[in-house]
Amino acid sequence: MSATFRKLHSAAGFIAGILIGLSIATPVFAATSPSLEEWNGPLGLVALVLLGIGMLINAAALGDAWRYRNVQVQHVRLPEDEPATR
């Protein structure tokens, strides 16, 4: 795995958050601008596409977390755990 791919893979959650945020902000700006009235339909479609892509990236980023979730940890006994023998 190259270093560039690792950086992109670690930034997947951030990229997904940006796309999901843009999908919320796009219709808000389209609805408040009087000069964009004819673009309301296409901008709504763009917002849905951005939301879909963001959710897919988020699911892919969380998929790796589920894969490593079931790692078994062995308990190591420390000297403090054992009863004192005198």
Q: Which pTM does this prediction carry?
A: 0.58
Average pLDDT estimate for 19-38: 82
Q: What is the pLDDT of residue 71?
A: 58
For range 34-46, the mean pLDDT: 80
DSSP per-residue codes, the chain: --HHHHHHHHTHHHHHHHHHHHHHHHHHHHHH-GGGGGGHHHHHHHHHHHHHHHHHHHHHHHHHHHHTTT--------GGGSPP--
